[in-house]
Amino acid sequence: MMHQGVGRSGEPLVAGVDLSTQATKVVVCEARTGKVVRDGRAPHPEGTEVHPTAWWQAFTEASAGIVDDVVAIGVAGQQHGLVPLDERCEIVRPALLWNDTRSARAAEDLVAELGAQTWAAAVGTVPVASLTVTKLRWMAEHEPALADRVSSVLLPHDWLTGMLTSALDQPVTDRGDASGTGYWSPGDGSYRKDLLAHAFGRRSPRVPEVLGPGDPAGETRTGAVVSAGTGDNMGAALGLDLAPGDVVVSLGTSGTVFALSPTPTTDPSGTVAGFADASGRFLPLVCTLNAARVLTAAATMLGVDLAEFDRLACAAPPGAGGLVLLPYLDGERTPNLPDAAGTLSGLRRDTMTPENVARAAVEGMLCGLAAGLDALRDVGVTVRRVHLIGGAAQSKAVRTAAPIVFGLPVTVPAPAEYVAIGAARQAAWALAGTPEPPAWQREDEARLAEPKDTDRSAGERIRHEHRALRRAVHRT
């Protein structure tokens, strides 16, 4: 498959993999500059439980013919997913993904048993259905015979990394992804196996060794260096080379809001997850379950494609003629409403147009992220401007509405797979063996209009209406 070598330009090449929710994406970059020279992608099956062999199939398809000459490779993956292996490293049951909400009651129980403050102080996060620790509790309660067979517990990126190095029996991970398990402490840099054993009700299963940010995990069969890998949001932060004051809003399957922090953060309310990053620092993050797919679902409901959806949403005024959408179409994680459904309110005969419905979908999705920006400020993050990334950042309607709803300058970095680029940069780092990652150039970014005063008041009104509806319907 892979063999050591250089690209046609004579530059050594490295590959980065984004094992995200809906697809596996692969980029091949020049190790020295970061220039992307090739890419590939392949879809994943629908659903919130996926057999990891489907990821291997997607990786094989996405990387076919483009990674033969890379000298290093790294994987950034969707966070939190539970990949349980038995003592022969066979998969015990299909992986439960971050957006699977069946462990909501388990999360409530774990919080009730130990207290939100204890969890936040111990591991930087308060359990919600997304976290690995709650999936282990669910499995222990609902599938005890399978739980008895579990010998080690991996995350999606750990598993793919282990497949690449042929070392699933000696699994490795990194600080960033480990910090999303609910049983690794970003503050102490160590596992809390007591919490893992408490949740699982059994002796703690084996957990991957946490490598340092630039450490190699091993080699592929053909001798390419494999880096430690990380979570997808940490990968994006590395790919974007974030500066202080920069906040990322990522609109993929999940909506995430995150920024770098030099110190760990804790939020006993559970809104901000106090993750570690992939560079040795920290990554406070807010995650919503409903982002890009709110737009695709609204477009399907309106019977239009995404281009027409965009045209409709852009044709409506800010505030969508009074229509307000709480877009909790898959339940919600932030606020923690795993069983919620969406609500569309404010319909009047003269305003219930396709244009206003489309605009309300865009604004409703963005309001969840605006609340995330406020929550980041509350834990001490400086928010000066927003970088908008992820699939839905390509939507003109989203680009138009985002500075208004956020009340901040917003830039859209040149369209690129930043998670995969971050994974490739980590691979180049492991290859170089330097204390810091290589300095990679970034393409120019499109700066969007800064919000005007009139925009600001429209944005405040939109956020106010969204909050008021949420309180009325969900009392949160």
Ligand X SMILES: Nc1ncnc2c1ncn2[C@@H]1O[C@H](COP(=O)(O)OP(=O)(O)O)[C@@H](O)[C@H]1O
Instruction: Give all strands (DSSP E) within 234-335, no chain letters.
Output: 246-251, 255-258, 273-276, 282-288, 324-326
Phi, psi torsion values for 157, nearest 5 degrees: -70, -30
> Do residues 235 and 279 make contact, with C-beta atoms less than 8 angstroms apart?
no
**Interface with ligand 5SP includes 288 (CB under 6 A)?**
no
Report the residue number, 57 or 296, with the smaller CB distance to ligand X. 296
**Which long-range CB contacts under 8 A does 52-57 form with residues at least 24 apart?**
52/83, 52/91, 52/94, 52/95, 52/156, 52/159, 52/160, 53/91, 55/19, 55/24, 55/156, 55/159, 55/160, 56/160, 56/163
Report the residue number, 148 or 305, with the smaller CB distance to ligand X. 305
232 is a catalytic site residue: yes
Q: Which does 63 bind (CB under 5 to 8 A by kind): ligand X, ligand 5SP, none?
A: none
* Residues 178, 182, 187: CA angle, nearest 5 degrees: 65
DSSP state of 277: -
Tokens describing residue 161: 């990394």
Helices and strands, counts by H and E, the chain: 15, 24
Q: Quick one: which of 24, 27, 71, 79 contacts ligand 5SP (CB under 6 A)?
A: 79
Q: Which does 400 bind (CB under 5 to 8 A by kind): ligand 5SP, ligand X, none?
A: none
**Interface with ligand 5SP includes 253 (CB under 6 A)?**
yes
**Interface with ligand 5SP includes 130 (CB under 6 A)?**
yes
**Interface with ligand 5SP includes 21 (CB under 6 A)?**
yes
Report the residue number, 80 or 293, with the smaller CB distance to ligand X. 293
Q: Which residues pair with 24 in a beta bridge?
A: 19, 42
| Catalytic position from the list 232, 246, 310, 330 | 232
Number of residues interacting with ligand X: please give it, by CB under 6 A.
16
Report the residue number, 281 or 293, with the smaller CB distance to ligand X. 293
Q: Measure the CA–CA gap between 229 and 467, rounded to whole angstroms.
A: 38
Residues forming the annotated binding site for substrate?
A: 79-80
Which positions from 299 through 328 interact with ligand X, judged by CB under 6 A?
Answer: 306
Q: Closest-CB residue for ligand X?
A: 391
Tokens describing residue 219: 């080699």
The pattern of x and - marking residues 223 through 252 that bind ligand X according to CB under 6 A reads -----------------------------x
Residue 402: strand, helix, or coil: helix
Residues that bind ligand X (CB under 6 A): 20-23, 252-253, 292-293, 295-296, 306, 390-392, 394-395
Residues that bind ligand 5SP (CB under 6 A): 20-21, 78-80, 98, 130, 180, 231-233, 252-254, 256, 285, 287
The set of catalytic residues is: 232
